[in-house]
Amino acid sequence: MEITELNEKIKQESEFVEILIGEIGKTIVGQKEMVERLVIGLLANGHILLEGVPGLAKTLAIKSLAQSMQAKFQRIQFTPDLLPADLLGTMIYNQKEGNFGIKKGPIFSNFILADEINRAPAKVQSALLEAMQERQVTIGSTTFPLEEPFIVLATQNPIEQEGTYPLPEAQVDRFMLKVKITYPTRDEELKIMKLNVAGAMPSIKPVISPEAIIKARNLVQNIYVDEKIEKYILDIVFATRNPKDFGLEDLTDLISYGASPRASINLALGAKAMAFIKRRGYVIPEDVRSICMDILRHRIAVTYEAEAEDITSEIIIQRILNAVEVP
């Protein structure tokens, strides 16, 4: 497909994004970035890890997204006594028929909110993350593919770390984005307060079908990424591994290990989804830059030295972005 033709098609087909964001915005005041990242996850077929203190409308946002798409939504509160079967489903003996029947778990939905994922033990986390990766679940001897679109939004509370099971680095890497949610502004909070006190929360109407999202995903795949952009993505990722090569010698001792190849893949996918949202048929460096922090922050491990100096992965990513030449 010619680039001008693709550009025109994307312009037409991406119209729903604004409508979708507008519909979610009926109930979610502010948190524009979080909503935008939800759509990126949806379009790039990636899962999202949300980090933020309680009460920042994480559940409401994903519930609104599910409602606006007429999709199935499940919220699972992760607790220390949760079992994999509580999540995936199990075989139940049917006394009447004298055989075992399959009872599917809450994972068989389009949108899953895994609330406080770090409160459940490793076996439950593994069960969820395996399902996320494989997009299928095996109960007994039967394997069930999960319905598309399938997107997991896991939340982590950055405070109260006592009694939690932090996600291992290998599992965190499976989340396409790690979004940090901050408090709303004063004006936004005033709107939230008024909206809730009035007691008349606007209802969300379905504005797009799950099938349309799958169709949009195919279009996102076709978005053009120039080799200059590919090189830019690789420069950023390689700078996390060998900062010295990019004139960032002082970062060498601060990075324990850099971003994996999954980071490069997800940066390219995320940039494409961002270009789609911006209604373009091609990726520009801004798309990469805008998604970079959310894709890399959980993929770079800092050293004890960095921790001692309060240097976070975000600071390192910002330094890298400021040092890598834009094409």
Which residues within the stretch 285-314 sit at the binding site for another protein (CB under 8 A)?
A: 285-286, 289
Contact 74, 112 (CB under 8 A): yes
What angle do the packed helices 58-68 and 32-44 form, to 10 degrees? Answer: 50
Q: What is the DSSP letter of 224?
A: B
Looking at the Cβ atoms of 229 and 255, the one nearer to another protein is 229
Q: What is the DSSP letter of 279?
A: T
Q: Give the CA-trace dihedral at 153, 76, 160, 190, to 10 degrees.
A: 70
Q: Which of 60, 207, 265, 321 binds another protein (CB under 8 A)?
A: 321
Q: Which two tokens stand for residue 294?
A: 């959310």
Residue 267 contacts another protein per CB under 8 A: no
Looking at the Cβ atoms of 53 and 326, the one nearer to another protein is 326
One-letter amino acid of 251: L
Residue 323 contacts another protein per CB under 8 A: yes
Q: Which of 283, 291, 295, 302 binds another protein (CB under 8 A)?
A: 283
Contact stretch for another protein (CB under 8 A) within 104-112, 137-145, 209-217, 226-234: 226-234
H helices of the chain, in order, are 3-13, 15-24, 32-44, 58-68, 84-88, 122-134, 169-172, 186-198, 210-222, 227-241, 261-277, 285-296, 304-308, 313-323
In whole angstroms, the minimum distance from the beta carbon of 314 to another protein comes to 17
Looking at the Cβ atoms of 106 and 285, the one nearer to another protein is 285
Residue 281 contacts another protein per CB under 8 A: yes
Residue 226 contacts another protein per CB under 8 A: yes
**Among 52, 60, 72, 75, residue whose Cα is nearest residue 25:** 60
Residue 212 contacts another protein per CB under 8 A: no
Contact stretch for another protein (CB under 8 A) within 18-26, 103-111, 211-219, 280-288: 280-288
Residue 121 contacts another protein per CB under 8 A: no
In whole angstroms, the minimum distance from the beta carbon of 56 to another protein comes to 28
Q: Which of 25, 106, 184, 327 binds another protein (CB under 8 A)?
A: 327
Residue 229 contacts another protein per CB under 8 A: yes
Q: Which of 17, 35, 284, 291 binds another protein (CB under 8 A)?
A: 284
CA distance 82 to 80: 6
In this structure, the strands spanning 99-104 and 151-156 are unpaired
Residue whose structure tokens are 């959310």: 294
| Residues lying near another protein in the complex (CB under 8 A) | 3, 7, 224, 226, 228-229, 280-286, 289, 321-327
